[in-house]
Chain A
Amino acid sequence: MIKVENLVKAFGAKRAVDDVSFTVERGEVLGFLGPNGAGKSTTMRIITGFYPPTSGRVTVGGFDIVENPLPAKRLIGYLPENAPGYADMTVHGFLAFVADLRGLTGDAKKKAIHRAVETCMLDGVLYQTIDTLSKGYKHRTCLAQSIIHDPDILILDEPTDGLDPNQKHEVRSLIKRMGENKAIVFSTHILEEVEAACSRVIIIDRGHVVANGTPQELKARAENAGAVRLTVRGIAAAAIGAKLAPVALRTEILFEQGGVAVVRVYPQERGGNAAFVGSVAEFAQREQWKLDELHVEEGRMDDVFRSITLPDTVKRAA
């Protein structure tokens, strides 16, 4: 549905987006991750036709966004960053205006507004002006605007920004539900959101795509992914490390006090495998260690994010 090829956007000498390529198909929810100023919003603005690209090509549903913008834009629903809205309009007036621009009339328009209001839970504020709304309601109003014409493609720039935890959860499940038959791209800072809603993740840093894969694949890139954590009683942590040396890359002592030791054992290959846990367990049994807990670590998204996006100098200091 969305095809981005070698996209470049320069503002003066600065390249905000530098050679970005990816595709999104129907049924996919693509999470767009990256530090502030990485080029997420700029990329989304190019896809939606707000900024023309400096070079490269974006096609939306087969239509080139530069050469054939109107049919491409008809397929897209867009929630811009900070969820803008006309301050002096009521929520209903605003949605009706967007429905007009989307070419909805009569009964279809009425139904579309009703559906969007219901989906985004805006019943209570329908006739309030937008400048009197709380941030959460303002955000949901703009979200309602983006789905009013039931688009095939949704581009959402930080859709959960400014929402409370319940609303965040609500929007996340909404995205997941809609993602079953739409192509969705959404950007976020919240890593748990990516795991909860995305089928694929792209990490973008300083204008470049630095990672592209499923959340599981990315988590496997974490340093401690596949490592085994052992809690053992009655033996010195150092001794455990020495014993496990033949099978492990290295061991790390996390905690040692009062005869209880917690160590993390890293597999020889990054990401580990089932056999590694087996061999550690076997070792423990053979040595007759008093094992309290044995746990395979999954790797955390924020570790991956940090290791990929932090500049090397900062990484060393951290």
Chain B
Amino acid sequence: MNSWNNVKAIMKRELGGYFTSPVAYVFLVIFLLLTGFFTFTVGNFFERGEASLVSFFTWHPWLYLFLVPAAGMRLWSEERRLGTLELLLTMPITTWQAIVGKFLASWLFLGIALALTFPVWITVNWLGSPDNGVILAGYVGSLLLAGTYLAISCMTSAMTRNQVISFIVSVMLCLFLILAGFTPVTDLLVRWANPAVVQTIASFSVMTHFESFQRGVIDLRDIVFFVSVMGFALFTTGVVIRGHRAG
């Protein structure tokens, strides 16, 4: 299929771009160090005395908050800064193929980073006998969460040629998606607002949807939530890119 070949070509270049520059290695090392630190030290993995990865997954929304925008901020702003956007979009490909190719490449990269946390999984299986179904659901949820943040970073990256601005704006947007359903915040909101309103706002939060994955529940509604936020953000990316060209 012709269009899939185009997406593949874009993906190959983008993924290669991560690994030919130090970005990939710095990212991977920091991601693995931080997951280890949060799981074992801050998350009290050993003191919990239970064979689960709860202390591992709990931190992912916060870790991704900074790391995913860092991985995604260059996606489009770099193209605009270098002027290669003009080259890319005058090739016989559609804007969609470019957007999807770039997104999938970065998502795959985040997937690789996540897969490299397998020693944590080995550790917990060696120490006890956890429910591996729950852990698998946690990984699926974590990957969807990373994809959602990434799609938002894609969108902010298309908005500016400045990577710093792209980074800050996407951190803010992702932070909103966390806080809207973060228990300390919702507890506070309930005092002023109608619980139904608070619950509606909370249902827009990644926290609410990620929690069920952590409990081992793969609910279609949660998947639909993550996928539709990704779809919306990528669609907006397309609109923003078209906007630049229309002048």
Contacts and interface: CB of A to CB of B under 8 A. Distances in A.
Interface of A: 9-12, 45, 48-52, 54, 70-71, 73-74, 76, 78, 80-82, 84-89, 93, 97-98, 100-103, 129, 142, 145
A190 to B, nearest CB: 22
Given A54-B247, A88-B21, A102-B92, 18 more contacts: A9-B247, A11-B247, A49-B89, A49-B90, A51-B245, A51-B246, A52-B246, A73-B90, A73-B91, A82-B83, A84-B82, A86-B82, A88-B17, A98-B91, A100-B9, A101-B92, A129-B20, A145-B87
A76 B13 contact: no
B44 interface: no
28 contacts: A9-B247, A45-B86, A49-B90, A51-B246, A52-B246, A70-B94, A71-B92, A73-B91, A76-B90, A80-B87, A81-B83, A84-B84, A85-B84, A85-B87, A86-B82, A87-B82, A88-B17, A89-B16, A93-B13, A93-B16, A97-B9, A97-B13, A100-B5, A100-B9, A101-B91, A102-B91, A102-B92, A142-B87
B160 to A, nearest CB: 18
Taking residues whose C-beta sits less than 8 angstroms from the other chain, chain B's interface range is 20 to 34
Given A52-B245, A88-B21, A101 B86 contact: no
Nearest to B242: A52
B93 interface: yes
B6 interface: yes
A86 B18 CA distance: 12
A126 to B, nearest CB: 15
A259 B122 CA distance: 104
Contacts of B83: 80-82, 84
B2 interface: yes
B215 interface: no
Interface string B49-83: 00000000000000000000000000000000011
Q: Which of A93, A101, A103, A145 has the most CB of B within 10 A?
A: A101
Contacts of A11: 247
A214 to B, nearest CB: 29
Interface of B is mostly: helix
Contact of B82 (A85, A101, A103): A85
Interface in B4-29: 5-6, 8-10, 12-13, 16-17, 20-21
A101 B20 contact: no
Contacts of B20: 88-89, 129
A74 B2 CA distance: 13
B89 A50 contact: yes
User: What 10 pairs across the A-B complex have the smallest Cβ distances?
Assistant: A84-B83, A100-B9, A73-B92, A11-B247, A48-B90, A74-B92, A101-B91, A80-B86, A84-B84, A97-B13
Contacts of B93: 70, 101
Contacts of A12: 247
Contacts of B10: 101
Contact of A86 (B17, B86, B92): B17
Contacts of A48: 90
Contacts of B90: 48-50, 73, 76, 78, 80
B92 to A, nearest CB: 4
Interface string B170-201: 00000000000000000000000000000000
Given A10-B247, A87-B82, A88-B21, A103 B91 contact: no
Contacts of B84: 84-86
Contacts of A80: 83, 86-87, 90
Q: Which of B12, B82, B90, B247 has the most CB of A within 10 A?
A: B90
Contacts of A88: 17, 20-21
A306 B5 CA distance: 49
A45 B244 CA distance: 13
Nearest to A84: B83
B82 A50 contact: no
A9 B8 CA distance: 34
Given A89-B20, A100-B9, A50 B91 contact: no
Contact of B247 (A51, A84, A85, A93): A51
A177 B164 CA distance: 46
A142 to B, nearest CB: 8
A76 B90 CA distance: 9
Contact of A101 (B6, B16, B17, B247): B6
